[in-house]
Amino acid sequence: EMQLVESGGGLAQPGGSLRLSCAASGFTFSNNWMHWVRQAPGEGLEWVSRITTDGGDTTYADSVRGRFTISRDNAKNTLYLQMHSLRAEDTAVYYCARDHLFASGRSAFDVWGQGTMVTVSS
């Protein structure tokens, strides 16, 4: 069974840092691009960041660029999100998601973790 399990969430102070992890199992992790998506309480989904299979290319939403860093360790089947300079508006459930390339060039996020809650508050 393909599975993603996030960890590392918790309470952080404004301006503080946290590192989220996402452990993958049940599929060949190194074959897939990966994403982080977040959801503020009572709000919709917001894409945060993407990383290619070897980690050589990363993309960020404008709201986190320069503060967050996505990375991966394919030997450990783990995705990371290092978050610095946290703000109250970063408070959300953070999901990792697998990027899957279907036939005919169609892509979507086909496997999701259960999410980890990040609260930024003093």
Partner 1 sequence: EIVLTQSPGTLSLSPGESATLSCRASQSISTNSLGWYQQKPGQAPRLLIYGASSRTTGIPDRFSGSGSGTDFTLTINRLEPEDFAVYYCQQYGNSPRFGPGTKVDMK
Contact positions vs partner 1 (CB under 8 A): 35, 37, 44-47, 50, 59, 61, 95, 102, 104-110, 112-115
Give the residue with the Cβ less far from partner 1, 75 or 105: 105
CA dihedral of residues 56, 89, 114, 66 (deg, nearest 10): 10
Q: Is 83 or 97 the residue whose CB approaches partner 1 more closely?
A: 97
Residue 103, CB half-sphere, CA atoms under 13 Å: how many?
Answer: 0
Asked whether the beta carbons of 82 and 19 are under 8 A apart, the reply is yes
Q: Specify which residues 119 forms β-bridges with.
A: 11
Q: Give 50 or 72: the residue with its C-beta nearer to partner 1.
A: 50
Is the Cβ of residue 16 or residue 45 nearer to partner 1 in the bound state? 45
- Cα three-residue angle 69-90-117, rounded to 5 degrees: 90
CB of 65 to partner 1, least distance (A): 10
Smallest distance, Å, CB 18 to partner 1? Answer: 20
What are the Cα distances from residue 85, in Å, to 17, 68, 78, 105?
6, 8, 23, 37
